[in-house]
Every structure is written in structure tokens, then in C-alpha cells.
Amino acid sequence: MKILKLINFNDNSFDTYEALASSVYLKKKGHQISVIAEKKSYAYDFCDKNKINLIDNNFYLKLWFINLSRVDIIEIYGYNSLNSILVRKLLSLKTPKILRLSSFPEVKAIDFIKKNFDSIDLITVISQSIKDELIFSGVREDKIILLNPILLMSRWESAKQIKPATFLQRPYRIAMVYRNKNYEYINFFMNLAKEVLKSNYDVSFSLIGPKDEKIRETARILEISHKVDVLGWRDDMPEIMAMAHIYVKCDTNPNISRSLIEAMASSVVCLVPRVKGISDFIISDYSGIIVEAGNIHSYVKNIVSLINEPFKMENISNTAYNIAKANYNSDIAGRIDEIIYQDIMREL
């Protein structure tokens, strides 16, 4: 099949990653994949590296001054008002269209979906909470289906292979990953680190994200700089995750983060806030730990409990990995996509 994927985001968002991970599998299976994305974006570099046909989403294409080749399926990832003319043109084609949502849609996006609902053949979401949000906002349920997130597992299985050895290592390492410098949540992590160290000094912490001297200064003020590694943004995340025992998510953004799925696939125990969307992916005390959002006592209590029960921590980490491998593996998700394409084509 000839499949066209429009990525509405320039950054390395989960929507972008889903589109690219799916493209890798489908290309491997012999499908002809074309991705619309802007130059100087993560998607553009990824497509170039993996030899996936890329169409530059430039000014001329945005205004539909360039005609695209005929395809069998069009997939639109997320919503961006800057691409509204291009999206409307794509929706006007007779080609089957799938809208992929990996994050909670804003009001403008929901209005756009309702206005163009008849032109969309299928809407896929990655969590029950996103589906509920759409239905509550007046989007008809009959075209919405729930699909699991997609992850290229091969990079993360190496982390799992050395995890048994990691659990024998001390000190325990607790990691937080962030893409945007939100000091409220970074400071929250620093303060929970200080509280954890009061109970167990044989623990170290890692912050993975854009570097900033202000972060190091906070660690010095709290007198924990010798226990906190500010690693900056890394390309070797599987290796970083392989050395971590606990992944902590401090922010309350309901959208699923790529790092959470990667941590699960790396067999790391994930400790997340009780927030709609995020807590859809974790069964507390089974595949991770759910804590009260913004409650530092809840975070510290559960972290210390895990450290004091290494057997429980290892069981949870193994369960998280097994769930990720069984449900998020791009080979499995890609096969489901192929079945969906075939069903849509048969209905034409």
C-alpha cells in the first residue's frame, strides 16, 4: 500500500515518534511510506536516516500549491492550526483518512474534528481518557478506537538484558526525564531527593533534560549536588535507563510521555502521579506505582518503600517490561495498523 503520514509537530513529541515508529515497520513490510514534515525537525532527520520518503511541509505545500501523488491511506497525526489549509485539502480527497491522537486535544482541535467528522474515516487514541474526553466533548463514538502506544523495542531490550545486574548494584538510582525546563517540577524532584536521602543515604539521582546552571544551583542550595547528576539531553537513553532503578514523573501533564513508555520497556519501576491519561498506563503495585500528584510525602513514602523491598521492585519492573513488550512493540502495533488499513479499504 501507499501510505501518506502528515506530522503536525516539529518537535520530538509522542505523536511524531508514533508516526515514525509505524513508518519503520510498514516500510520493512514493503509498503510505500511518505511522511510530510518540516525541514530542521526531528522527523526530517529520522526519515533521512531510515531512508523513508519525506515531503517537505514548506510554504507551497501548506497552501496546497503542490499536488501530491495518489496514495491508498492518509494518516494525520495530531492537530496544528498552522496546517489547517493542508489538512482541509487532504480531508477533501476521496482517499481514506485516519486521524491519530496521542495527546489530549485542545478546544480548537475538537471543534475541527466535529466540523470535519464526516471526512474522517477513523480516529485512533492511545488512552481511554482521551477517548472519554472526545466523547464528552460531543465527538461521536462510532469512529473512535483505542490503540496502544508504539515503541521500537529493539533499542530498549538491551536495557532489560542487564537489569538483573542493575538490581544488585548500589546505590539505587532514581531518574527524572524532562523535555521542557519547568522549574516547578524540577524543584519538586530536588526536594523529594533531599527528603529521600534523609531516610536512605545510599541513593543517587539523575536529571535528564536540557541543561541549565539554575538546576545545579538549586542542588547546591539544598546541599545535595553530590547526589544529583544533571546529565543534559542524551542520545543514549537506553543506556541511561539501564542504570536506573526507579523512574519518577513529577509533572501533572495528562499527556503520555515517551520517556514513561521507554522506562517501562527498559524494565524500570515507574512512579507516576494520579492524573487522568497518565495513570491509564499503570496498575499500581503491579506494573508501577501511582502516587498523589504534587504530594511530596506520597512520593517519598513510596520511593523509600520500594528501596526497602527490592524483591517487590524487581517484580514490578519485570511486569512493566512484559506489558511494554506485549503491547507497545512496533511489530505488533504495525501489524494491527495493516489490519485496520485492509478493513478500511474493503469498506470502499
118 and 246 in a single domain? The answer is no
Domain count, the chain: 2
The SS3 call for residue 48 is: helix
323 and 339 in a single domain? The answer is no
Q: Given this model, what pLDDT does residue 73 score?
A: 96
Q: What is the pTM of this model?
A: 0.90
85 and 133 in a single domain? The answer is yes
25 and 93 in a single domain? The answer is yes
Q: Given this model, what pLDDT does residue 254 score?
A: 92
Helix 14-28 to helix 330-346 angle (10° resolution) is 80
Tell me the CA end-to-end span of the chain in Å, nearest whole number.
15
If one counts every other C-beta atom within 10 angstroms of the C-beta of residue 338, the result is 15
Question: Containing domain of residue 84, as a range?
Answer: 2-151+328-346
Q: Given this model, what pLDDT does residue 142 score?
A: 94
Q: What's the order of all strands across the beta sheet hosting 73-77?
A: 53-56, 32-37, 2-7, 73-77, 97-101, 122-125, 144-146
Tell me the C-alpha to C-alpha distance, in Å, between residue 13 and each of 78, 115, 199, 228, 296.
10, 26, 36, 26, 28
Amino acid at 298: S
292 and 341 in a single domain? The answer is no
DSSP β-ladder status, 2-7 and 32-37: parallel
Q: Given this model, what pLDDT does residue 156 score?
A: 73
169 and 145 in a single domain? The answer is no
- Dump the DSSP string for 313-338: HHHHHHHHHHHHHHHTBHHHHHHHHH
Local confidence pLDDT in tens for the 348 residues of the chain: 999 999 988 777 888 999 999 999 999 999 999 999 988 888 988 999 999 999 988 877 877 766 788 999 999 999 988 888 889 999 999 999 999 999 999 999 999 999 999 999 999 999 999 999 999 999 999 999 999 999 888 777 776 777 666 666 678 999 999 988 888 999 999 999 999 999 988 899 999 998 888 999 999 999 999 999 998 887 777 788 888 999 999 999 999 988 999 999 988 999 999 999 998 999 999 999 999 999 999 999 999 999 999 899 999 999 999 999 999 998 899 999 999 999 998 877
CATH number for the domain spanning 235: value is: 3.40.50.2000
Q: How many angstroms from the chain centroid is the CA of residue 57?
A: 23
Amino acid at 272: V
44 and 190 in a single domain? The answer is no
124 and 192 in a single domain? The answer is no
Which residues neighbour 314 within 8 Å (Cβ) at sequence distance 6 or greater? 167
Q: How many angstroms from the chain centroid is the CA of residue 345?
A: 29
Amino acid at 30: G
Does residue 288 come out as left (phi exceeding 0), alpha (psi in the -120 to 50 range) or beta? Answer: left
166 and 222 in a single domain? The answer is yes
The SS3 call for residue 148 is: coil
Q: Given this model, what pLDDT does residue 144 score?
A: 97
196 and 305 in a single domain? The answer is yes
Q: Given this model, what pLDDT does residue 25 score?
A: 93
Establish whether the linkage from the previous residue to 238 is cis, with ω within 30° of 0: no
Count CA atoms within 13 Å of residue 303 on its CB side: 35
Q: How far, in Å, CA of 24 to CA of 250, rounded?
A: 32
DSSP for residue 266 = T
31 and 88 in a single domain? The answer is yes
165 and 306 in a single domain? The answer is yes
The SS3 call for residue 145 is: strand
Percent of the chain as helix, strand, coil, to the nearest 5: 50, 20, 35
